[in-house]
Structure 1
Amino acid sequence: MKPRIGLSVNYEEKGPGKVGAYLGADYTDGIYAAGGLPFVLPLTDERAWIEDLADELDGLLLTGGDDIDPSYFGQEPLLGLGQVTPLRDAMEFQLFAAMRARQKPIFGICRGVQVMNAALGGTLYQDLPREFQGTLQHSQKAPRQHTAHAVEVVSGTLLAKIVEIESLPVNTYHHQAVRDLAPGCVATAHSRDGLVEAIECPSDRFTLGVQWHPENLWRKHTSHFRLFTAFTEAAAARRKAAQKESVFVREEK
């Protein structure tokens, strides 16, 4: 059976008791093309529900979307902060912790890498134009399939092994980013102006996040498709290991 990959969703309130959830098809298409079975996750902050999801899923893809409430990284809202979605924040931070406690693969894209860093004790730039004196345009005005700038990949990292290229062309659609790196994480790619573009947790089996949007690039760029295949393969391996462990426990009984 294909590994079951949960994907977080964007949402907006449509009125009292009405919430609209949505997710770009490039995410689910990429997971399925890479050998996974995508599941678009419900929005909930109920702990028991989140724990059940973590038990059943083989991997978690934290997708792009709205800004993160700065209280999650010890700050108050600053000028330039965009729309925050409290229910999504609550769910993703809890589900990230639950999946990581089970040592299940986690892949973060754009907002997803920011959730990972904040959840592990790092901080974020709330608004790059106001807080980061870089030279590159990090929110490109071009089609999403267009590569705008390159990121330099750190050799010897999980990311380097996956993409197999030192200077990787990426697209870029963000105004927030990793600021102070979380303890236990390493930066595995940077833009030319010094911004962190990818992080990973070396002590984990697969906890990797990227600031760009490979879901828009995987159809034409092999290196970006490898991110999806490496993630789904890690989820498949975790599923297989869990099944073997279950068989061993039954035999012991």
Structure 2
Amino acid sequence: MRPLIGIPCHSGVGAESDRPIFFNNKAYIRAVELAGGVPILIPIFEDLSGLETLLPRLDGILFSGGIDVHPSVYQEEPHPMLGETNPLLDKLELALMRYVKEKELPTLGICRGMQLMNVALGGSLYQDLQSQYPGSLKHPNWELPRNHMVHKVIIEPGSRMEKILGVRETRVNSLHHQAVKSKGTGVVISGHAEDGVPELLEVPGHRFMLAAQCHPEEIWRDEPVWGKLFHAFIEECSNAHKRTTLTIDKLFAPIQTHIQAI
């Protein structure tokens, strides 16, 4: 049976209807689907107890790109160049990260997803690379096509990423203005851009917890090595795992103090 992969939604306004919507980019859906998974969009719950029904049915979670994580979550004040944030999205995704960590659920992070993963494990972020990381490349290339290759990523030898991708170096797109600063507990940076900015992340102590700062869902057709990442993720999600019930209040209680401060 094909594994069910949860993908958290973002919130916005419909271009034609001007009505509030939950959504995510089609590229994530197609990448998961064509790698053999069944994508399930997770709305931004106001009442997280609704996750009790959903989460035990999932075989993996993909944390996608999107808006900035609010810096209060990693105990920093907002930088003047901080972009849009959404406390409810942070609350949902931090809860999901706590779940995947405790239940050893296979997890893939992309762009914001890599940053969220690091923050959830106790790390911090550069809130704006251009102003906080002297000598950095131009990483936010939002004016370019999303599949435009911008710079190289050098992959650490012996890392799980090297084993999955099968290369020590590859080119990537670049659509971010934030990045990992201090590493979270158990986090290993397994790839860097030419300027030293972290581009790949893995957590060796977890069954499958990997992340990319680029957007492989946009470039895997042009750079087949990135298709290997999605296939490895779906393959791990396909392996049988013990489904257990959970108590939402106990699982999410540790993050409430941070969220209320936003």
Gaps of 5+ in 2: 245-262
Counterpart residue number, 2:255? none
Deviations 1:91-142 (A, max 9, x none): 0000111122111101000000000000000000111111111331111242
Say whether the 8 Å CA contact 1:50–1:94 is kept in structure 2. no
Moved more, 141-150 or 5-14: 5-14
Deviation at 1:46, TM superposition (A): 2.7
What whole-Å deviation, never above 9, does each CA across 1:3-37 have from its counterpart, x for those lacking one? 000011221268xxx63212111100000100000
Q: Distance in 1 between matches of 2:222 and 2:207?
A: 28
Provide structure 1 residue ranges, at least 5 long, that are not aligned to the other structure.
246-253
Q: Distance in 1 between matches of 2:81 and 2:223?
A: 33
Q: What displacement does 1:89 show?
A: 0.7
- TM-score normalised to the size of structure 2? 0.87
Matched residue type, 1:11: S
Aligned pairs (5 A) from 1:44-193: 44-140=45-141, 141-193=143-195
**Does residue 1:21 correspond to 2:9, yes or no?**
no
The count of corresponding residues between Structure 1 and Structure 2 is 239
Give the match's secondary structure for 2:242: helix
Kept in 2, the 8 Å contact 1:147–1:171? The answer is yes
Q: CA deviation at 1:52?
A: 3.1
Deviates further, 207-216 or 125-134: 125-134
* Runs of 4+ that moved beyond 6 A: none
The 1-side partners of 2:52 and 2:163 are apart by: 32
> Quick one: distance in 2 between partners of 1:29 and 1:94?
25
Q: Deviations over 1:41-91 (max 9, x none)?
A: 111143322243321110000000001110111111111000001111110
Q: Identity of counterpart residues, as a percentage?
A: 37
C-alpha distance in structure 1 between counterparts of 2:95 and 2:133, whole Å: 29
Summarize deviations over 1:128-161 as a string: whole Å, max 9, x none. 1111113311112421111110110011111111
For residue 235 of structure 2, give the secondary structure of its aligned residue in structure 1.
Answer: helix
| Amino acid aligned to 2:32 | I
Q: 2:253: which partner in 1? A: none
Residue of structure 2 equivalent to 1:249: none
Local SS of the residue matching 1:193: coil
TM-score if structure 1 supplies the norm length? 0.90
SS in 1 for 2:22: strand
Write the distance in 1 (CA, Å) between the matches of 2:241 and 2:46: 29
What is the aligned partner in structure 1 of residue 234 from structure 2?
232
Residue aligned with 1:50, SS: helix
1:78–1:213 distance in 2 versus 1, CA, 3 Å: same
Report the Cα distance in structure 2 between the residues aligned to 1:13 and 1:90, rounded to whole angstroms. 20
